[in-house]
A and B are shown apart, each in its own frame.
Chain A
Amino acid sequence: MLNFSDVYPPMFNGGAESFFYGFVRALIIRGCFNVDVKRALGIAGFYRSVATPECWTVKLLEHKGIFGLMVSDVKEDENTAECVLNLKYFPDASEEVLDTFSVMEILATAEPSYGAMVRDFASVSALSGMFSVGDILINIDKGSGQMSVTLISETLSETRIRDGLYVQSGGQELVEPMGTDRCVSAYRLALPFFRCFTGCAAYSLSHTADGYYRSYAEGKAVVIASDGSSHAVECPKNRVVELTFTFGGQKTPLPLAAFPCTVRPFWWEKQTERNSSRVMDSRPRLIIVSGFLGSGKTTYIRNLIEYETDKNRFVGVIQNEAGQSGLDGFLVDYDYSLVEIDEGCMCCSLSGQLKKAIAQLSSERVPDTIILETSGVANPMNLIDEIDDVSEMARFDSVTTLVDLLTPSGMLHDNELMRQQIRSADIVVLTKADSAGDDELTATARIVAEINPDAMIVAAKGNINYSMLYGTENESGLLANAGQKGHTHHHEHIGTRKISFHEPVGKDELLKMIEDMPADTFRVKGIVDVDGEGAVVVQSVNGRTELSAPGRKPPEERFLVVIGKNVS
């Protein structure tokens, strides 16, 4: 007996139609709550349309297009309730598979508002009638609490046009008479979504399928005449497939074990307890954030922590600031776990440290996301061995490198370490875009693209939408460029020095002291008591100095950390 009321407590009180809208919506939403489950289901994103009629769209990780689902029929009698959902695939305008769709469908993808229309496709009459790749039928036996979920789809969905299709004025022929307008491998497109959907059902109902059956019938092709009438003709290549999974103790012709392993839903292995870690990967993902000194890493990470927290994910941060004091741990004012590797710079001698840090972070509770903030003078290329070493404990996601738009372009050309950081990135974020002009933005983006043509380049104006950056599975640039030899900061003669303060200083005196530091000082930061103002956080980058009030109770110590060339 399946516990439908757990998923949709109002049950059939509002009628079968109300039930199925609520039930199907809840199945998918519940599949999206948990990041590990969402990944295992292969879901990249979900949208619920509030247009009338309601419909749902899902992006899967491995498909460029968007899957759509809408209720097309509901039936109910005393014993059973049944719902037919029409399944759509809206290809991306650049996708090759679009060539197999009809002229009308291709034209729809060329509409500038295609993406927006897809979101509410059920209320757009043209879209609700097109892009179909099959139906999903849900049948519920109210008495026994059993459910079956069936995909009905065609191996080759073909439409021909009796009189041909051409452009009226120029006479250019688009489809010859009796020619094929649409020949979509619908079943092949529908199956990945069906796996995801049955996975959502199994997860939401805490019940794996009992078994399956599958049947094939002869398919037809449809011939459309210019008067709008249509008739079906033989089509030997097309077969209609019906694939059913049963839930809740039904007797079924075939045990699940007979189901082809290449298309098994994710819950398959969960049920058999084999390799369950592979399908339900609960390792935290590891995001490396790199960037030159003062490029805005702390702000970037603070916002990322907030974003993850908002999505109910817990964050662990590993920091490795080149310096004797963990000031950045103090500046980030949010709720998360923090481990600091405080013994110099990881790029040279990290061996084993990352592993230790992840273990320490995970000792109380395993985070969902681990952010490794590399020291501003670190070269992520040197992390490759280390990442490999921790693959059991964390799933490497990507490297993000921040580049300050106010960086002189000469540095981008000449500073090999900065170039290496950019080269190793999957994502390059150009920070401080608010203060920079459009010309600087374009020029810097061009240089970055020359250094690393594969990276996604984003300009940070105000807030960044993190789901755009980390929503997809990135091919890691770090691993792709792994052949290149690392360049560490010792070769650049970069060092750090700490100045301790035992009593308050005058504000002017402090500013002058920072101003007088050598020209190749990259960064000064710390916390100092200023006459008449109390504790003040000092941040200075490339000659720009900011003093601000501490966000929360400051540490006892008063100091400045100076980072630059030839500092020791």
Chain B
Amino acid sequence: MSDSKISRRDFVKGALTGVGLGALASMGVFSYSPMRNIFLPEIVRKQQDFGVCKSVKVTNISETSWFENSALMGDIKGAGGLLVNQYVYNWPPFGNGKGLAKGSYADGMAMIKEYIPHDLEKAWAIVEKNSVHPENAGGFAALVEMEEMDGTKHKYLLDTGWSYKWMDESFKREGIDKMLQNGEIEALIISHEHFDHFWGFPVAMKYAPNIPVYIPEGFYEEGLQYIKDSGHKGTLTTLKKGLNQIKSGMATYVFDVPIICRVFGEQSLYFNVKDLGLVSVTGCCHQGIIQFADTAYKELKYENDKMYGIYGGLHISPFEDWDPKYDDLVISLGKWGFERVGCNHCTGLLTARKFIDQGYNVVEGTARFRSKSKVYLGNGDKIGFGVDV
């Protein structure tokens, strides 16, 4: 090889300085012209068309998934860590009275089955006696209202929260109980199987047992059984990974990612709002905002090729990147250009503040009904895209 005093890497780089890669001769490993092109990623955009709608409005029914983070994390750690099956924790409503990490779906359900979904007060009273930290359970649920181009409006319930007690109160506060009873809400979309988004399922069944339900592919056996045991009598649709159109301008997208507490898969909602651009509504966004936005860019066609708004959990990434600069970079570049950002508490104050620091229009909340910070859209707060709220 080359001179022993200078490293080969420096020698090679030096020999080609100012000459250009095209000057390399006699190799035949790759076609060398045009050289630069082989260093460019091939970006393929599918731009699937899922129609267009007029507006979207989101009402935050409850975003306080749990009330004390330290209690929740203590339970998770005490039960053996982040990969432990969520049905084993002995959290409400599946408590069997045996204590942390000694629960099971079957045991817990056996204790409350006869009261579900018609007498949830009775069921919850039993749950409170047998579960670990029942007072810590809150839940996430949102009402999503979309308007078609012809003015027809559709209501969807996104997630059902966790605690029967808290969710029933929250539903009543926002009038969701009536809407469910009247059949005003067309379908229930469950973003993922996590306790705080799904375990309040019987509360929705109490008011609308026949409502169509959409879940993402990846639910475990216990979760599927819970839907049955909660008295659901309507259609259940399992959506496959990727894009699933619901209405013109409204689709869900299923991400096939593992999530902590042994959950798999999460679906988020995409709306293509006329003249504005893409609006995304997420539960937790466990897949990470980077993947979420990149997927939209790659897969979807939307108005003005613009990402207009986002509501929900905005985790940057669920795990540490090997190049941490990248996380900051994508935000600081403002490359997504969101014009309206609404966070829920899944976002984390730090990330919310990063968005604010970068000049994104983060819509403030009112910190009512046990929501802790105004940086988020809290319980009872609303956000509109293409419509005033």
Contact = CB atoms under 8 A, between A and B. Distances in A.
Interface of A: 6-10, 13-14, 18, 22, 25-26, 29-30, 32-34, 36-37, 44-48, 50-52, 57-59, 66, 93, 96, 98-99, 102-104, 106-111, 113, 115, 117, 119-120, 123-127, 129, 161, 163-170, 172, 174, 179-180, 203-204, 224-229, 303, 306-307, 309-314, 334-337, 364-366, 368, 462-463, 465, 467-468, 471
Contacts of B389: none
A336 B40 CA distance: 46
Residue among B38, B318, B322, B348 with the most chain A CB within 10 A?
B322
B77 A366 contact: yes
B154 interface: no
B322 A58 contact: yes
18 contacts: A6-B262, A7-B258, A29-B257, A37-B81, A50-B298, A106-B9, A109-B9, A165-B25, A167-B23, A167-B24, A168-B24, A174-B15, A179-B1, A306-B349, A314-B77, A337-B70, A467-B324, A467-B327
Contacts of A6: 262
B197 to A, nearest CB: 16
B323 A119 contact: yes
Contact of A9 (B220, B327, B354): B220
B21 interface: yes
Contacts of B13: 106-107, 110
Contacts of B325: 465, 468
A368 to B, nearest CB: 8
Given A127-B39, A465-B327, 9 more contacts: A9-B264, A30-B258, A52-B44, A99-B8, A164-B26, A174-B24, A368-B77, A462-B357, A467-B320
A14 B241 contact: yes
B39 A29 contact: no
A47 B323 contact: yes
B16 A107 contact: yes
A96 B7 contact: yes
Contacts of A36: 81
B344 to A, nearest CB: 14
A204 B78 CA distance: 19
A103 B1 CA distance: 11
Contact of B19 (A47, A98, A169): A169
Interface stretch (B27-35, B55-63, B120-128, B302-310): B27-35
Contacts of B40: 124
Contacts of B76: 312
Nearest to B317: A47
B321 A336 contact: no
Nearest to B46: A52
Contacts of B7: 96, 99
Nearest to A115: B323
Contacts, number: 223
A312 B260 contact: yes
A123 B83 contact: no
Interface size class of B (residues with CB under 8 A): 35 or more
B351 interface: yes
B24 to A, nearest CB: 7
B44 A314 contact: no
Contact of A336 (B70, B81, B349): B70
B354 A463 contact: yes
Interface in B72-106: 73-74, 76-78, 81-83
A117 B324 contact: no
Q: Which of A8, A37, A104 has the most CB of B within 10 A?
A: A104
Nearest to B291: A50
B28 A227 contact: yes
Given A34-B81, A462-B357, A471-B320, A52 B264 contact: no
Given A168-B25, A336-B70, A365-B74, A45 B324 contact: yes
B328 to A, nearest CB: 5
Contact of A111 (B39, B291, B349, B357): B39
A47 B322 contact: yes
Nearest to A365: B74
A104 B24 CA distance: 10
B47 to A, nearest CB: 13
A333 B354 CA distance: 18
B218 A10 contact: yes
B83 A46 contact: no
A486 B136 CA distance: 47
A107 B218 contact: no
Contacts of A227: 28
Nearest to A225: B28
A113 B39 CA distance: 9
Contacts of A225: 28
A314 B75 CA distance: 11
Contacts of B333: none
A180 B8 CA distance: 12
Contacts of A164: 26
Contacts of A468: 324-325
B177 interface: no
Contacts of A364: 74
Given A365-B78, A366-B77, A166 B25 contact: yes
A117 B38 CA distance: 11
Contacts of B119: none
Given A10-B217, A126-B38, A303 B23 contact: no
A98 B9 contact: yes
A451 to B, nearest CB: 26
Nearest to A37: B81
B13 to A, nearest CB: 5
Given A10-B218, A14-B241, A124-B40, A57 B322 contact: yes
A33 B319 contact: yes
Contacts of A163: 26
Nearest to A36: B81
B233 interface: no
A45 B321 contact: yes
B295 interface: yes
B322 A66 contact: yes
Contacts of B265: 9-10
A47 B350 CA distance: 21
Contacts of B339: none
Contacts of B256: 8, 10, 22
A357 to B, nearest CB: 17
A314 B70 contact: yes
Instruction: Please give me the 9 A-B residue pairs with the lowest Cβ-Cβ distance, nearest first.
Output: A45-B322, A59-B322, A126-B38, A228-B28, A467-B324, A310-B348, A32-B319, A99-B8, A335-B69
B54 interface: no
A402 B353 CA distance: 21
Contacts of A106: 8-9, 12-13
